[in-house]
């Protein structure tokens, strides 16, 4: 456990010190976080700068990697965030090589995450950039403590009762899909937010108990996190990006894939366990129960396999056409790219299950597991405040609802979930 109690200063003073100390060398306007799934780049741009003077010259909001820009008026800067998949780390290296300002002589960049160690030599050889590694957990705690004590409208409770009520096994529906901005109940900054649990959901999950400004310890975690969700999604569906899978969940019905209490008992199991019929008894349980058609041989069997081959190859041909320079853009504009995403990778189960339902089942399975582990740790350490952060959440209402529902379900409504941006 680490402990040291620093002096507390106000937000404006803290930000001005940050600007004066940390932004003098141009290369210090960069920061990198390389995790197991995503690599994130931050560039701090002064508001007075023109396009030609930028260290990063490519700030086109239409570019897929440009995630977010946030203005900080207290110090007159704009924070520009970029994201890359870690498996494509060379894209980040290429991006920096192509857009690094020619006037920057020093290439000394602060970095965190496991990849800051793993890929340090790549950056040194390709860019002559030295990555100054900072401890990831330390950065997380310091960042969230700053937000909790100094910043308004950064940490919030997800407050949308229709979606929370439907979070267990109700099908996703546009009728309950909320405007996230109106579903946030922001938590006011506090001089003493301690103790609390920080559940950081990246590729895996880390649970950190924070007792003070620099007094914290990692108390638990799980290997089942965002990487699990995205990895299984790649195996089970034809989606090529994380966002494509999230889009599928918006029209999914996990009760077609999951085995519910009602499927086992024909209704609720209330006498002993107090379980409603809609409670998930086994994630993906209905896949196990699905009867396979018996193998057929001879002419009938040949015809069956021929039809299956045609159906399977049709999507391969569609993917081929989507990749062509002439037809591809037109087909994507017409929405045919979604046809490939909505089909399961398993040809034998395509007729019985849809990728939309599988994606929502998978999302809720991972989210419920994280919520339950978080609640159990809150009971173990007698901590009532739980903060969730990480790219897995990323302002997605169904994910927020699933985690919030799980904590509320296991705590009987006594423990409140709070979401925060990843510091």
Is the pLDDT at 285 greater than 90? The verdict is yes
Question: Which of the pair, 202 or 153, is modelled with greater confidence?
Answer: 202
Nearest Cα to Cα of residue 405 among 253, 280, 248: 280
Output the average pLDDT for the chain: 78
The reported pLDDT for the residue numbered 372 is 93
214 falls in which pLDDT band (50, 70, 90)?
confident
Are the CB atoms for 275 and 261 separated by under 8 Å? yes
Residue 331 in tokens: 């087909």
Nearest Cα to Cα of residue 72 among 62, 63, 81, 83: 81
Give the DSSP H/E element, type plus range, for residue 249. helix 242-249
How many Å apart are CA 170 and CA 249, to the nearest integer?
12
Could you give the C-alpha distances from 188 to 142, 348, 375, 396, in angstroms and in order? 18, 52, 23, 22
Is the pLDDT at 221 greater than 90? The verdict is yes
Question: Which of the pair, 336 or 78, is modelled with greater confidence?
Answer: 78
Q: What is the pLDDT of residues 390-422, one digit of tens each?
A: 988 877 877 888 888 888 888 887 777 777 764
112 falls in which pLDDT band (50, 70, 90)?
very high
Give the DSSP H/E element, type plus range, for residue 201. strand 196-201
Could you give the C-alpha distances from 94 to 73, 99, 111, 123, 184, in angstroms and in order? 31, 8, 17, 10, 38
The reported pLDDT for the residue numbered 217 is 97
317 falls in which pLDDT band (50, 70, 90)?
low
The reported pLDDT for the residue numbered 399 is 86
| Least-confidence region, from 57-71, 98-112, 241-255 | 57-71
The reported pLDDT for the residue numbered 72 is 77
The reported pLDDT for the residue numbered 55 is 46
The reported pLDDT for the residue numbered 189 is 85
How many Å apart are CA 26 and CA 261, to the nearest integer?
59
The reported pLDDT for the residue numbered 69 is 76
The reported pLDDT for the residue numbered 389 is 92
Is the pLDDT at 8 greater than 60? The verdict is no
292 falls in which pLDDT band (50, 70, 90)?
low
Strand partners, 419: 156, 388
Mean pLDDT along residues 244-249: 89
DSSP letter for 251, please: T
How many Å apart are CA 286 and CA 279, to the nearest integer?
14
What are the extents of the domains in the chain? 11-134, 139-227+360-419
Which CATH number is 139-227+360-419's, of 2.60.120.380, 3.30.420.40, 3.40.50.970, 3.40.309.10?
A: 3.30.420.40
The reported pLDDT for the residue numbered 51 is 46
Mean pLDDT along residues 226-249: 90
Mean pLDDT along residues 35-52: 75
Mean pLDDT along residues 194-206: 95
What are the backbone angles phi and psi of residue 218, rounded to the nearest 5°?
-80, 120
Residue 357 in tokens: 């339902």
Are the CB atoms for 213 and 199 separated by under 8 Å? no
The reported pLDDT for the residue numbered 290 is 74
135 falls in which pLDDT band (50, 70, 90)?
very high
Domain 11-134 sits in CATH at 3.30.420.510
Mean pLDDT along residues 220-224: 96
185 falls in which pLDDT band (50, 70, 90)?
confident
Q: Are 11-134 and 139-227+360-419 equal in CATH topology?
A: yes
Three-state DSSP class for residue 177: coil
Question: Which of the pair, 175 or 33, is modelled with greater confidence?
Answer: 33
């Amino acid at each position: 456990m680490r402990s040291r109690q620093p002096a507390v200063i106000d937000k404006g003073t803290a930000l001005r010190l940050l600007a004066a100390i940390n932004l003098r060398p141009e290369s210090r306007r960069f920061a990198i976080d390389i995790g197991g799934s995503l690599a994130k780049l931050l560039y701090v741009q002064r508001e007075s700068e023109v396009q030609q003077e930028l260290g990063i010259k490519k700030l086109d909001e239409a570019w897929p990697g440009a995630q977010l820009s946030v203005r900080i008026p207290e110090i007159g800067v704009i924070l520009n965030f970029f994201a890359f998949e870690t498996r494509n780390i060379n894209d980040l290296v290429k991006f920096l090589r192509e857009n690094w300002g020619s006037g920057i002589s020093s290439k000394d960049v602060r970095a965190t995450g496991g990849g800051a160690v793993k890929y340090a030599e790549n950056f040194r050889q390709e860019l002559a950039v030295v990555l100054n590694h900072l401890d990831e957990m330390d950065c997380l705690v310091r960042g969230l403590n700053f937000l909790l004590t100094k910043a308004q409208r950064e940490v919030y409770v997800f407050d949308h009762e229709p979606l929370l009520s439907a979070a267990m096994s109700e099908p996703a529906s546009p009728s309950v899909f909320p405007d996230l901005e109106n579903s946030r109940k922001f938590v006011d900054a506090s001089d003493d937010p301690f103790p609390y649990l920080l559940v950081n959901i990246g590729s895996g999950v880390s649970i950190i108990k924070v007792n003070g400004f620099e007094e914290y310890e990692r108390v638990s975690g799980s290997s089942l996190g965002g990487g699990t969700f995205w990895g299984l999604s790649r195996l089970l569906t034809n989606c090529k990006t994380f966002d494509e899978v999230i889009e599928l969940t918006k029209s999914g019905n996990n009760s077609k894939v999951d085995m519910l209490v009602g499927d086992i008992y024909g209704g609720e199991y209330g006498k002993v366990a107090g379980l409603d019929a809609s409670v998930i008894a086994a994630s993906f349980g209905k896949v196990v129960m699905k009867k396979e058609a018996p193998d057929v041989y001879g002419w009938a069997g040949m015809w069956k396999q021929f039809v299956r081959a045609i159906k399977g190859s049709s999507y391969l041909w569609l993917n081929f056409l989507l990749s062509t320079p002439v037809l591809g853009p037109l087909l994507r504009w017409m929405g045919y790219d979604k046809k490939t995403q909505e089909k399961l990778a398993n040809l034998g189960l395509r007729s019985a299950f849809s990728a939309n339902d599988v994606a929502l089942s998978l999302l809720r399975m991972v989210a419920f597991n994280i919520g339950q582990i978080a609640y159990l740790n809150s009971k173990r350490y007698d901590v009532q405040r739980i903060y969730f952060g990480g790219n897995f959440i990323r302002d997605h209402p169904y994910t927020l609802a699933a985690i919030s529902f799980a904590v509320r379900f296991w705590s009987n409504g006594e423990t409140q979930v709070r979401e925060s941006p990843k510091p």
